[in-house]
């Protein structure tokens, strides 16, 4: 999940925008749930089709199997008859040898050595009977062979007739099975995306509230001295989830004279450089969505396309996008035309490319479609005042992130919030950012032949995090998102942050209920040893006089940052410890 490097405008305004975005994201979650329901209905229908195809295929397969069984039975009978014939033939030959060669007499001598006419006839009839029997047996075997050949021809014909139908049904079954797998996979992706959206909504709200609460706070470069006995203060580093490129660390590296290629490969372990033609592939960015009406005003010539209707527009001629209006597109007809979008609160942003009004699930989505390189010009992730090499490193990461999210949603690829990347269109363009886009055009990072999913965050506090420790899953899936040291993050304004001194009695009121006090006793310390590979906390142990209550670090931060007992102090992220402490190495 990307995070911004600087706070835009005032913190109160930012909180208001986050709350607006939260409402939009909730609408988006509802749409996702609706899409999931439709997909599951489609999945059930496809599974029914697959079952029907298998049922259609079963009689044909049974028929083929029956013919195969008949052929096998005929072949077996033929083998038995052939074996009987061979046995009889051997017996006949043995008898002939005995008869024709008795005492060395040949068969002619056997016939003409008869002692009388009756003896001659008897010997001739005997030989004739043997010959007739052999001829009958030969004819029987020949007839069986002909019948077997006829059955073979019938089977071959049946096979030839069945083969196209079998192939068609098998292809259909394979296609349906593939479609079922595809729909099931997409349904799984939607479920995962919905879960991530909920997590990120909470993250953004917490971050905005923390920024508002800690407005104006400034910190020294090092943690302050230890708190007196019976009390504690917290001190930590960084602000953001810490996965992938650290934006402030990239700035520090650029200030140290390092170029963008070195910067990116430092944060994305084991990657290689590659170039793609990204001038034409479009990206679809959802910039607004809801049940309201929206207006689009072109700065120059454009066209409104709604179904078969095409209307030419002049500069300043507004178009109203409504939920009941169907799909509507506002397309510039001049390369210089820009489109300004207005929402219920007034002017939103101005954009390159096309604006599409797309109704779906009871909401109207306003989608900006434009080439990826132009999309990168409108990102608002790092200030244009930063060193160019840091901006270029950010642009390459953003290009990779955008490419890996093409087709990630049904209606669009990304939106313009920190759910994906912060995008403000033409309003965010600047000379340095356009130069960074032009000078890195098409450049991407790959791992294992694939473009990487380039996560980034604001300040990593001196060490990035393993993606598996923050977002779950396996590091083997994203081996390039492995935690690395980042000493250059020291230039970040919240590289080091800390709180005031609090007594354990005060913090007990923050973290312990009366039932907790009855169970665990009174708070007397913290167990902060459960950390991931980057020294970010996983859980916090609240040590009482009678036991230890363990809570997740997110719940611990939430309780501190929203308590009236902790004033304007903020715990900015999970990389922190207490003073005094001897269990954390980043003091």
- pLDDT, tens digit (0-9, with 9 covering 90-100), for 364-400: 999 999 999 999 999 999 999 999 999 999 999 999 9
User: What are the sequence ranges of the domains in the chain?
Assistant: 39-207, 217-237+496-579
- Is pLDDT above 50 for 539? yes
Question: What pLDDT does residue 175 have?
Answer: 65
Between 542 and 135, whose confidence is greater? 542
Give the pLDDT confidence of 298-336 residue by residue, as tens digits: 999 999 999 899 999 999 999 999 998 899 999 999 999
Give the pLDDT confidence of 457-488 residue by residue, as tens digits: 999 999 999 998 888 777 888 999 999 999 99
C-alpha distance from residue 315 to each of 3, 131, 296, 337, 349 (Å):
36, 110, 11, 8, 17
| 0.85 exceeded by pTM | no
Tokens 């925008």 -> residue: 17
Q: Cα(196)–Cα(419) distance, rounded to whole angstroms?
A: 9
By percentage, how much of the chain surpasses pLDDT 90?
51
Please, where are the H alpha helices in 229-367?
A: 247-255, 260-267
Contact (Cβ atoms closer than 8 angstroms) between residue 289 and residue 25: no
Q: Cα(185)–Cα(460) distance, rounded to whole angstroms?
A: 33
Question: What pLDDT does residue 224 have?
Answer: 87
DSSP 273: E
Q: Please, what is the angle between helix 260-267 and helix 388-403, to 10°?
A: 50
Contact (Cβ atoms closer than 8 angstroms) between residue 405 and residue 413: yes
Question: What pLDDT does residue 110 have?
Answer: 52
> What is the band of 8 on the pLDDT scale with cuts at 50, 70, 90?
very low
Q: Cα(247)–Cα(457) distance, rounded to whole angstroms?
A: 6
For residue 44, give both structure tokens: 């059930």
- Is pLDDT above 70 for 208? no
Contact (Cβ atoms closer than 8 angstroms) between residue 501 and residue 226: no
- Is pLDDT above 80 for 276? yes
Q: Cα(386)–Cα(247) distance, rounded to whole angstroms?
A: 10
Question: What pLDDT does residue 86 have?
Answer: 67
Q: Which residues contact 304 (CB under 8 A, 6 or more apart)?
A: 310, 311, 313, 319, 328, 329, 330, 331
Cα three-residue angle 470-472-475, rounded to 5 degrees: 95
Distance of CA 326 to the CA centre of its chain: 30
Q: Which residues pair with 235 in a beta bridge?
A: 498, 577
Q: Over range 257-270, report the average pLDDT.
A: 97
Q: Over range 72-86, report the average pLDDT.
A: 71
Question: What pLDDT does residue 108 have?
Answer: 53
> What is the band of 31 on the pLDDT scale with cuts at 50, 70, 90?
confident
Q: Over range 195-223, report the average pLDDT.
A: 66
From the list 527, 414, 536, the residue with the least C-alpha distance to 467 is: 536
Can you tell me whether residue 165 is helix, strand or coil? helix
Q: Cα(342)–Cα(307) distance, rounded to whole angstroms?
A: 23
Q: Cα(28)–Cα(421) distance, rounded to whole angstroms?
A: 16
Least confident of 74-83, 227-236, 245-254, 296-305: 74-83
Question: What pLDDT does residue 515 have?
Answer: 94
Between 573 and 82, whose confidence is greater? 573
- Is pLDDT above 90 for 587? no
Q: What is the mean pLDDT of the chain?
A: 82
């Amino acid at each position: 999940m990307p995070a911004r490097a600087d706070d835009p405008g005032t913190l109160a305004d930012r909180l208001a925008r986050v709350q607006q975005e939260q409402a939009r994201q909730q609408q988006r979650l509802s749409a996702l749930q609706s899409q999931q329901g439709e997909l599951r209905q489609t999945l059930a229908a496809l599974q029914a089709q697959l079952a029907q195809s298998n049922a259609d295929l079963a009689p044909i397969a049974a028929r083929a199997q029956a013919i195969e069984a008949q052929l096998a039975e005929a072949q077996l009978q033929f083998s038995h008859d052939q074996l009987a014939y061979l046995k009889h033939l051997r017996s006949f030959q043995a008898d002939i040898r005995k008869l024709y060669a008795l005492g060395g007499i040949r068969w002619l001598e056997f016939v003409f050595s008869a002692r009388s006419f009756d003896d001659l006839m008897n010997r001739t009839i005997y030989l004739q009977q043997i010959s007739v029997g052999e001829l009958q047996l030969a004819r029987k075997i020949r007839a069986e062979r002909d019948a077997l050949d006829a059955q073979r021809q019938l089977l071959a014909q049946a096979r030839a007739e069945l083969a196209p139908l079998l192939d068609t049904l098998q292809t259909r079954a394979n296609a349906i099975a593939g479609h079922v797998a595809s729909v099931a996979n997409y349904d799984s992706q939607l479920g995962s995306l919905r879960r991530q959206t909920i997590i990120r909504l909470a993250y953004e709200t917490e971050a905005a509230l923390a920024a508002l609460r800690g407005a104006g706070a400034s910190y020294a470069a090092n943690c302050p001295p230890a708190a007196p006995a019976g009390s504690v203060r917290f001190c930590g580093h960084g602000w953001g989830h810490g996965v992938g490129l650290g934006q402030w660390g990239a700035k520090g590296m650029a200030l140290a004279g390092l170029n963008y290629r070195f910067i990116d490969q430092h944060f994305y372990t084991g990657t290689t450089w590659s170039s793609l033609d990204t001038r034409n592939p479009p990206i679809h960015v959802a910039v607004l969505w809801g049940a309201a009406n929206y207006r689009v005003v072109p700065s120059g010539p454009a066209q409104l396309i709604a179904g078969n209707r095409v209307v030419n527009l002049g500069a300043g001629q507004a178009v109203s996008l409504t939920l009941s209006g169907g799909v509507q597109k506002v397309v510039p007809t001049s390369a210089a035309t820009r489109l300004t979008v207005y929402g219920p609160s007034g002017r939103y942003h101005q954009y390159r490319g096309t604006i599409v009004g797309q109704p779906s699930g009871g909401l109207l989505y306003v989608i900006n479609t434009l080439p990826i390189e132009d999309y990168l010009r409108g990102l608002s992730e790092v200030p244009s005042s930063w060193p160019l090499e840091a901006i270029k490193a950010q642009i390459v990461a953003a290009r990779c992130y955008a490419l890996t999210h093409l087709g990630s949603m049904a209606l669009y690829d990304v939106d313009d919030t920190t759910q994906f990347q912060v995008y403000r269109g033409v309003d965010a363009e600047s000379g340095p950012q356009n130069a960074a886009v032009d000078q890195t055009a098409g450049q991407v990072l790959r791992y294992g032949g694939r473009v990487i999913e380039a996560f980034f965050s604001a300040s990593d506090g001196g060490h990035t995090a393993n993606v598996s420790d923050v977002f779950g899953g396996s590091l083997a899936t994203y081996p390039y998102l492995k935690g690395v040291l980042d000493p250059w993050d020291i230039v970040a304004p919240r590289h080091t942050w800390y709180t005031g001194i609090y007594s354990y009695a005060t913090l007990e009121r923050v973290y312990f209920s009366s039932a907790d006090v009855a169970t665990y006793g009174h708070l007397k310390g913290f167990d902060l040893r459960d950390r991931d590979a980057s020294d970010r906390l996983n859980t916090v142990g609240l040590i009482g006089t009678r036991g230890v209550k363990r809570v997740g670090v997110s719940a611990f931060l939430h309780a501190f940052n929203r308590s009236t007992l902790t004033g304007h102090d903020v715990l900015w992220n999970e990389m922190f410890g207490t003073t005094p402490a001897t269990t954390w190495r980043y003091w």
